Structures are given as structure tokens and as C-alpha cells.
């Protein structure tokens, strides 16, 4: 069995094989995708967040978030508590158990969606509950007492709570939803979110990117808001929550939303603002002697109190100039200026991410038409000021930054219900997708940041005579060698009719649908033999890993390029050696002894060169061999034609 071969180049049929490189990249958009037959049914929009989740729907033509029974908050803390009596509690009541019963209280489950324990390495300490490490590459499980839960099951419990909430509000059953996910979520994480919906009894009609939903909430791109100066608009969505930061650059044209780039930091948010305040107070008001005699529990309790007070100070300073409070009988204070000095470096980190996103989208800050603020931490005046300064314009912050994504999801649900026909959504793939070719090279078929849905294909051939089977291994990543990328799956195209090397035409198509699910199809065009897979990775990938993969690809660009160059030269040499030997055998009668000896000597020189680590040496011998054998190949061709024409009238 052989891996997929790149087209062969040889002295005899360069033209034919070169023409096997067919590249296509079409973007197909199906306006009707997901549209309902019964538009009167309410489809809800759900923001399934790391810290809080919300459910929204269209009420009298306007999106609204649904409040809890107490009528106070639209936020449902994304926290699940397993009580001693077997009861499952979700939301505010579960949040209260975070301090008293952390082992049975699960938070931040979104961070675990579609991930393996290996993905979490370095962050194990983040979770106060038990994340199971049985096989580092399988999906994580969470142990609560004697039961094991998957992140999908836990997310389903949160979704069920939201379903109950909206059904209470509407007085009717709800079965269809749109759920938002971060733009960087990979196929596996999106699929996990869909599965959670299904488990909660919801038919998830569409997974929508959070920044896209936020833009929709502001009516950006809708027919009622004509495009800025009559052209496409570019939008930056700055999302700073409690624990994560995301920046997305969108382009909206003719009602089409397209994510141009994404960037961010999965461990940066308002919680870090709280932490720097705590550190500042500890340094200013306390010494290590204050804690030397206190036990572990007391220290924990104090830590919890001071953290809550720091959060209160932060929130107060969003409108006040000074905060004054008391903890353990000690007065503490913080001025707006002190706070801004403390969080300055953290805010700067978000701006650096913005610059990276702009660079990826090939834009400058001035090229952004509108900036949308999302997430509770964008209430901090310094954040608003810094972001406005970077983009040189006022930001959109009139809607509640906690609700904006859910409101947009409700609008998207309304679009799918067939009530707003002018809008459709387009997202991008965060990492390149491709297949392994000879020598372990990554051949990218759908590049990173390609618009989805998308369909791209390429043709390949074999490099060995009579090759019957072809293994197609699908990878995700930015490095040149597949060994540095992430394998998504593989399949074998079996039973290719025996043909000389270079003759089979194997068409490989990648189809990435609107939900980011990848279908890979291989077809041998001469025999119509076909095989396909739908990629459902057996384990997930973390955002950190994704960011690392990008960083790695940049840091190793030079060595990767050298390795790729050498492998490609070797592949070319090997193909040439095969076809050269064949050429000698087939044309024994028309070549002189001298010509055979020289060709053989050059082939041997190439065989030796291919063993060396210097691609330039290989290329030089290839050039020599081609130059010497080209007239011989022409002569061989003339003879073949003459033989074929013999006895025929012209």
C-alpha cells in the first residue's frame, strides 16, 4: 500500500502529468439551508457561554433575552451541581455550591468540549473538580462521586435548564435552536455542541459564530442599515469576558457575513483584572505574618472573600472614581487610576491580539468600519478607551455586552425561520485542512481562514505501476510535514484497476459544510471507483494547541521550508529514477550502447544524490539527466509514431 502520490514528472510525459494539477476552490452558499417548513414555530437563540449562558427569542419583531423565575437576571451561570440526594442543580443555585462543595460542582465545561486530557496539560489545576486522565488521547470525562460525565452531557444539562426557562416564558414546548460557539471552535467542538443540544432535546439548526451573532444583534449587515459608503463593511468584534478574550474580524457584504480572521487568548479576562487587584491589596495592606497562623480552610475562605471584593471594586470603578471597602475589619481602597495602571498590561495584551487579527485579515485599524463590544469586561472604561483609540473610532457598546450574542442568535434563528430572507452567514476555518502526500508532506486543500461552506479539490496520481490501493490521510495544521500536524482521519481507496504509474486520476474533494463538518471524497476518474469519509475526530484540540500550531508554523517556517524542499526533490528524483529505468528498457533497440551507458551513469548519480541532504545537488543531477535524455525521448517518440503510421496512408 502506498500513500497518495504527487503527480509524476518524467522525461516522457511531463505535459500530461503537469496537467494533473487541477486546483479549484468554490464557495457554495445555500440560502435555504436549515430553513423551516413551518415558519410559525419559535426557534430560540442560545449563547452557551463559559461562565454564563442565555436564551433569547424574537418577541414582537425584537430579540429579547429570557429572565429567570425571579425576574432578575437573564444570565444562567454555566454551572452544574450534583447534590447528595441525586438532584442536579444548574445556574445560580449551583454557583452557590462552588465554594462549599467544589468537587461536585462543575464550571467552565465549555473549555472541555471536544478535548482530550492531553489538550488540557498545563491547565489541570484550573478545574476544582476531577477531570479523568485514563487515556491521554481520548476525550475527557469528569468524575462526580461514582459517575462519569462527558462535557457533552454536562453542557446538555445547562441547555436543558435554558429550554425549561424559555418554555416557561412561552408556555409552549421548544424543540429547535441556534447555538453560538467561538469562531475558533474546530469541527469536533462544534459537533460536541450539536450533540449537547440533541441530548437536551433540541434540534440544533445551526451553529453560529459568536462574533457573527454580536454583529447581527447591532443590525449590522441588515437591509435596514445600508453598507458604509455603499461598500462592504469590515467589523471588529472585541469580546472580553470573565476568562477568555476573542477578537474577530468580519466582512459583511450584501448580507453575507464572512469571518476574515480570529485571534485571542483563552486565559485572559475579567478574572485577571480581579486577580491583579487582589495582589495589589495583599501587597499594600497585608504581610505574610497575617496568614502564618491561619489554617488552610481560613486561607481559602479569605481568598474567596478578597476575590469577591476585588470584583466588586472593579465593577464599581466602571462608573465611580474611587472604591472603598472592608475585609476582615481592615479598610481597603482603590482609585480608578490605580486600577487602570494595574490592568494596563492586560489590556495591552488584548490590543496585541487585535493587531495580529488585523494582520491576518490584511487590514489596518483604519480599515475597520465598526467595532462591536461583547462580554462583561468591556464595561471597563479603560477597555473602551483603548479599543476606540486602536481602531480610531467610537465603539458599539449600547447593548448589554452580556446579552448581545444571545440576541444575535435569536435574530439568526429568525432568519432560519424564514422571517428575514436577506441575511446569510459565512464563517472561516481556523486551521488548514489537507492530505498527506509522498514523503509525509502536508498538501493543503482548504487553507486556514477559508470561507465556509467551501468545496475544494485536487487531482493526484500514483507513482508505482499497478498500484491498487491508495491511503488518504487527512490532516489539520499549518506545518509542512504531516508529522507536526494533527491527524483527523484516514481511509483507503481500494481496488484501483492496475495501470502504469501516473495514469490513474484520483480526484480528492474536501467539502466543509456550514457547521464546519468536513467530508472527504476520493474518486478514481477512469474507473469511477469512489470512497469517502465524514471527519469526526476521535479526540479534540484545544484553543491553546491551535494557537501553538500557528506559532509553531511561524517559528519553524525556515526549517519546514528546507525539509519540504528536500522531500520534494527526493520525490522528484525517485519518480525520475522509475521512469528512467522504464525508458531504458522500453527503448533498448533505438539507443546506442554509449547513450545507454551515459543514461545509466546519470541515473546512478541521481540515486546517490537522492541519499544526500542537499536538495540543490539533487536538482542539479535532475537537470543534467533531463538535458541529456530529452533528445533521446524525442527520438523514441518519433520512432513510436513512425511505427504507428507504418502502412497507413497520410
- Residues binding ligand AMP (CB under 6 A): 51-52, 241-242, 269-271, 311, 314-315, 318, 375-377, 379-380, 402
Q: For ligand AMP, which is the closer residue by CB, 126 or 148?
A: 126
Instruction: Give the nearest distance from C-beta 95 to ligand AMP in angstroms.
Output: 12
Instruction: Give the nearest distance from C-beta 82 to ligand AMP in angstroms.
Output: 23
Specify whether the CB–CB gap between 24 and 459 falls below 8 A: no
Cell of 96: 452557590
Catalytic residue among 119, 169, 239, 478: 239
The rounded distance, in Å, linking the Cα atoms of 107 and 142 is: 11
Look up residue 219 and give its DSSP letter.
T
Catalytic residue among 119, 210, 272, 543: 210
DSSP code string of 397-440: --S-TTTHHHHHHHHHHHHHTTS-TT-EE-EE-SS-EEEEETTT
Q: How buried is residue 544: exposed, middle or buried, by Cβ count under 10 Å (0-12/13-18/19+)?
A: middle
Q: How buried is residue 146: exposed, middle or buried, by Cβ count under 10 Å (0-12/13-18/19+)?
A: exposed
DSSP code string of 48-81: E-SSEEEEEEEETTEEEEPP-TTSS-S-EES-EE
Q: For ligand AMP, which is the closer residue by CB, 377 or 437?
A: 377
Q: For ligand AMP, which is the closer residue by CB, 378 or 571?
A: 378
Measure the N-to-C terminal CA separation of the chain; round to a whole number of Å. Answer: 46
- Using H for helix, E for strand and C for coil, what is the string for 312-350? HHHHHCCCCCEEEEEECCEEEEEEHHHHHHHHHHHHHHH
Q: For ligand AMP, which is the closer residue by CB, 120 or 405?
A: 405
Cell of 71: 425576574
Specify whether the CB–CB gap between 522 and 472 falls below 8 A: yes
Instruction: Give the nearest distance from C-beta 516 to ligand AMP in angstroms.
Output: 23
Instruction: Give the nearest distance from C-beta 51 to ligand AMP in angstroms.
Output: 4
Q: For ligand AMP, which is the closer residue by CB, 402 or 515?
A: 402
Bond from prior residue into 103 cis (ω within 30 degrees of 0): no
Q: For ligand AMP, which is the closer residue by CB, 75 or 205?
A: 75
Contacts of 301 (CB under 8 A, 6+ apart): 99
Instruction: Give the nearest distance from C-beta 77 to ligand AMP in angstroms.
Output: 9
What is the spatial order of strands in the sheet that 130-132 belongs to?
A: 130-132, 141-144, 147-149
Q: For ligand AMP, which is the closer residue by CB, 273 or 460?
A: 273
Range 261-289 burial, b when 16+ CB lie within 10 A, else e: bbbbbbebbbbbbbebbbebbbeeebeee
Q: For ligand AMP, which is the closer residue by CB, 320 or 557?
A: 320
Instruction: Give the nearest distance from C-beta 274 to ligand AMP in angstroms.
Output: 7
47 is catalytic: yes
The rounded distance, in Å, linking the Cα atoms of 120 and 537 is: 17
169 is catalytic: no
User: Positive or negative, the Cα torsion across 194, 198, 204, 209?
Assistant: negative
Instruction: Give the nearest distance from C-beta 310 to ligand AMP in angstroms.
Output: 9
239 is catalytic: yes
Instruction: Give the nearest distance from C-beta 333 to ligand AMP in angstroms.
Output: 17
Catalytic residue among 95, 110, 451, 505: 110
Instruction: Return the active site residues.
Output: 47, 110, 210, 239
Amino acid at each position: 500500500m502506498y500513500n497518495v502520490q504527487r503527480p509524476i514528472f518524467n522525461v516522457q510525459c511531463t505535459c500530461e502529468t503537469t496537467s494533473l494539477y487541477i486546483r479549484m476552490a468554490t464557495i457554495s452558499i445555500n440560502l435555504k439551508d436549515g430553513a423551516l417548513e413551518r415558519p410559525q414555530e419559535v426557534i430560540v437563540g442560545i449563547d452557551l457561554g463559559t461562565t454564563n449562558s442565555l436564551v433569547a427569542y424574537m418577541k414582537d419583531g425584537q430579540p429579547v433575552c429570557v429572565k429567570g423565575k425571579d425576574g432578575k437576571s437573564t444570565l444562567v451561570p454555566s454551572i452544574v451541581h450534583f447534590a447528595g440526594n441525586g438532584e442536579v442543580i444548574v445556574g445560580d443555585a449551583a454557583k452557590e455550591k462552588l465554594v462549599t462543595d467544589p468537587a461536585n460542582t462543575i464550571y467552565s465545561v465549555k473549555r472541555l468540549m471536544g478535548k482530550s486530557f492531553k489538550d488540557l496539560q498545563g491547565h489541570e489545576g484550573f478545574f476544582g473538580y476531577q477531570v479523568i486522565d485514563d487515556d491521554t488521547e481520548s476525550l475527557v470525562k469528569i468524575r462526580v462521586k461514582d459517575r462519569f460525565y462527558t462535557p457533552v452531557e454536562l453542557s446538555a444539562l445547562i441547555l436543558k435548564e435554558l429550554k425549561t426557562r424559555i418554555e416557561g416564558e412561552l408556555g409552549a414546548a421548544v424543540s429547535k435552536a441556534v447555538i453560538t460557539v467561538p469562531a475558533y471552535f474546530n469541527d469536533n467542538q462544534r459537533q460536541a455542541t450539536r450533540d449537547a443540544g440533541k441530548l437536551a432535546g433540541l434540534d440544533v439548526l445551526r451553529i453560529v459564530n459568536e462574533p457573527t451573532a454580536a454583529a447581527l444583534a447591532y443590525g449590522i449587515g441588515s437591509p435596514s442599515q445600508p453598507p458604509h459608503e455603499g461598500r462592504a463593511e469590515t467589523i471588529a468584534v472585541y469580546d472580553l469576558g470573565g476568562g477568555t478574550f476573542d477578537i474577530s474580524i468580519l466582512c459583511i457584504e450584501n448580507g453575507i457575513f464572512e469571518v476574515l480572521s480570529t485571534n485571542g487568548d483563552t486565559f485572559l479576562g475579567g478574572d485577571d483584572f480581579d486577580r491583579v487587584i487582589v495582589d495589589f491589596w495583599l501587597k499594600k495592606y497585608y504581610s505574610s505574618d497575617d496568614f502564618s497562623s491561619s489554617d488552610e480552610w481560613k486561607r481559602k475562605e479569605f481568598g474567596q472573600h478578597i476575590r469577591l471584593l476585588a470584583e466588586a471594586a472593579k465593577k464599581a470603578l466602571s462608573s465611580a472614581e474611587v472604591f472603598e471597602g472592608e475585609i476582615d475589619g481592615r479598610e481597603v481602597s482603590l482609585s480608578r487610576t490605580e486600577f487602570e495602571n494595574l490592568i494596563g498590561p492586560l489590556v495591552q495584551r488584548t490590543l496585541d491580539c487585535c493587531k495580529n487579527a488585523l494582520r491576518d485579515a490584511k487590514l489596518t485599524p483604519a480599515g475597520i468600519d465598526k467595532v462591536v463590544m461583547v462580554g462583561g469586561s468591556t464595561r471597563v472604561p479603560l477597555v473602551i478607551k483603548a479599543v476606540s483609540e486602536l481602531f480610531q473610532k467610537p465603539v458599539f457598546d449600547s447593548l448589554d455586552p452580556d446579552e448581545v450574542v444571545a440576541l444575535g442568535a435569536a435574530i439568526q434563528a429568525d432568519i432560519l425561520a424564514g422571517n428575514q430572507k436577506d441575511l446569510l452567514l459565512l464563517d472561516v476555518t481556523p486551521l488548514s485542512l489537507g492530505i498527506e502526500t509522498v514523503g509525509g508532506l502536508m498538501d493543503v486543500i482548504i487553507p486556514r481562514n477559508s470561507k465556509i461552506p467551501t468545496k475544494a479539490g485536487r487531482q493526484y496520481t500514483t507513482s508505482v505501476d499497478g498500484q491498487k490501493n491508495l491511503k488518504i490521510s487527512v490532516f489539520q495544521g499549518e506545518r509542512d510535514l504531516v508529522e507536526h500536524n494533527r491527524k483527523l482521519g484516514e481511509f483507503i481507496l481500494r481496488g484501483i484497476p492496475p495501470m502504469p504509474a501516473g495514469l490513474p486520476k484520483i480526484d480528492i474533494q474536501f467539502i466543509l459544510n456550514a457547521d464546519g463538518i468536513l467530508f472527504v471524497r476520493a474518486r478514481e476518474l477512469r474507473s469511477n471507483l469512489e470512497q469517502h469519509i465524514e471527519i469526526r475526530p476521535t479526540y479534540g484540540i484545544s484553543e491553546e494547541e491551535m494557537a501553538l500550531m500557528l506559532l509553531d508554523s511561524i517559528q519553524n517556517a525556515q526549517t519546514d521550508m528546507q525539509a519540504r524542499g528536500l522531500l520534494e526533490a527526493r520525490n522528484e528524483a525517485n519518480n525520475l529514477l522509475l521512469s528512467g529505468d522504464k525508458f531504458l528498457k522500453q527503448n533498448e533497440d533505438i539507443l546506442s550502447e554509449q547513450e545507454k551507458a551515459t543514461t545509466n551513469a546519470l541515473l546512478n548519480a541521481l540515486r546517490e544524490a537522492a541519499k544526500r541532504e542537499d536538495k540543490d545537488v539533487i536538482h542539479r543531477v535532475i537537470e543534467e539527466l533531463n538535458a541529456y535524455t530529452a533528445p533521446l525521448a524525442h527520438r523514441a517518440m518519433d520512432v513510436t509514431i513512425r511505427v504507428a503510421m507504418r502502412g497507413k496512408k497520410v
